[in-house]
Structure formats: C-alpha cells, structure tokens
C-alpha cells in the first residue's frame, strides 16, 4: 500500500482565496483524521470520520473550515475564505478501528 | 487523557541505545501508552504501544514500570535516521478514545 496520500504537498495562496486540501486514506481503514500543526500550538486534531461520517468536529477552528468524505477513499478539507493565521502544515491520518494512526506527508499551507 | 512529561531534548551516540523516558503519573487503568515520532518535515509515525507488559517490535522496545506511572522507549541501536521528535501519548482504549493528544515531545539528536 502507498500509505496515506495528500495533495498538494505545498500550497501558497492569497488571503481571501478558497483552499482545498485532499486526502486518500489507506485502503480498508475506517477512520480518517485531519490535524493541523503550527509552531505555537503543536499538533491539533480538527475533525475525524468513521465510515465516511463526521463524528467529532469540535476541533475545527471556525465556520470557514469544512471537511467532507464523500467515499471511503477520499476526503477534503476546505478553507473559505483563507486567512494568514491558517498558515500551517495540515496532516491527514487513517486507522483501522481505533488502532495506530498512519499519517500522510502533510500539506504545507501558506496564506499571504 | 492523562498528561505526560518528557525531557525537551536528548542526545545519543550513533550505534548506542537511546532510552527516552516518559512520566504519566495520573494514568488510568484502561489507558495505553503510545509512542510516535516525527522526523523533520514528515508526518508522525507510529512506533509502539502497550498497556502494562513490556512490548517489543522491529522498531523499538517499550518498558512500562509496574505501577505504570512511567515508561521508557528504547531504540536499541540508534542511527542518524532516528533523529526526530518523539511523542509519548496516553490514550484510553475503545470507542470514543480516538484522541491522540500530542505534547511537545523529546527532540532526540543522534550524533555521529
């Protein structure tokens, strides 16, 4: 298996623009997680899905953030409109049941 | 989840064993100890986890004290590629225990 795949790896955008981050989990995994990492706050869980259904989105910072999982092999995290404080590395992770989580390589987002 | 305490940084000579300590004095009976690491610019990587018995896999060994208030991750023969931030995380088992709360971890530097 190729592991968790994220795209793009780097994204630079201007404030106010819409940003869409993509994730393909490991085949067969039933949990998918979105994290954000910054120097100030470390790694934070934003939202997680079980069998494509959002279970807990309490970590999503604002209404500007939304996440979807239309099928078992694809998820998106959208920021609209983006702001400079959204600059961070966004990680997607997947797991089978609630065992160890496998993380993707991350998307480094820079909002200018 | 119980809080964990780890040293901020450690050095280890290449080829020697790296012993990374973690204190989790408020751990509950159903909480596991997990270890992840994050190599620079990569996503976190699962290493090992345990409940109360010592565990070993191809990457490392986990030694948990009898009272479960502390543990040690052992990398038996550290290489330069083991330079990373190592996170000790305590997490309950079962449904609703998805949360991985990453602290600041221990920055391990393997010295040639």
Taking residue B67's Cβ as centre, other Cβ atoms within 10 Å add up to: 9
- pLDDT greater than 60 at residue B2: no
- pLDDT greater than 70 at residue B88: yes
Q: Are B46 and A4 within 8 A, CB to CB?
A: no
Q: What is the pLDDT of residue B98?
A: 72
- pLDDT greater than 90 at residue B29: no
**Are B52 and B64 a contacting pair, CB within 8 Å?**
yes
Q: What is the pLDDT of residue B97?
A: 65
Chain B residues inside the 8 Å CB shell of A55: 98
Q: What is the pLDDT of residue B67?
A: 94
Q: Are A100 and B34 within 8 A, CB to CB?
A: yes
Chain B residues inside the 8 Å CB shell of A103: 43-45
Q: What is the pLDDT of residue B94?
A: 66
Mean pLDDT of B23-46: 93
Q: Which residue of A has its CA nearest to B35?
A: A100
How far apart CA A87 and CA B21 sit, in angstroms, is: 32
Place of tokens 């993707």: A104
> Mapping DSSP to helix (H, G, I), strand (E, B) and coil, where does residue B59 land?
coil
**Structure token digits, residue B101:** 């709360």
Chain A residues inside the 8 Å CB shell of B85: none
Residues of chain A with pLDDT under 50: none
Q: What is the pLDDT of residue A19?
A: 98
């Amino acid at each position: 298996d190729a592991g968790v795949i994220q795209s793009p790896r780097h994204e630079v955008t201007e404030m106010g623009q819409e940003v869409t981050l993509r994730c393909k989990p490991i085949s067969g995994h039933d949990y998918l997680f979105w994290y954000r990492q910054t120097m100030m706050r470390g790694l934070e869980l934003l939202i997680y899905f079980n069998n494509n259904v959002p279970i807990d989105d309490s970590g999503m910072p604002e209404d500007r953030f939304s996440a979807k999982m239309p099928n078992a092999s694809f998820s998106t995290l959208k920021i609209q409109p983006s702001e400079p404080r959204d600059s961070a590395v966004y990680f997607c992770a997947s797991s089978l049941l609630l065992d160890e989580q496998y993380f993707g390589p991350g998307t480094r987002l820079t909002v200018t | 989840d119980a809080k964990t305490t780890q040293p901020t940084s450690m050095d280890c000579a290449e080829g020697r064993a790296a012993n990374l300590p973690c204190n989790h004095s408020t751990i509950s009976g159903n909480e596991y100890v997990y270890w992840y690491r994050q190599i620079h610019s990569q996503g976190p990587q699962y290493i090992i986890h345990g409940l109360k018995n010592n565990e070993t896999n191809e990457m490392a060994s986990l030694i948990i004290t009898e009272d479960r208030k502390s543990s040690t991750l052992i990398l038996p023969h550290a290489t330069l590629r083991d330079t990373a931030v190592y996170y000790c995380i305590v997490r309950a088992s079962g449904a609703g225990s998805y949360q991985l709360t990453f602290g600041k971890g221990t920055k391990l530097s393997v010295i040639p």
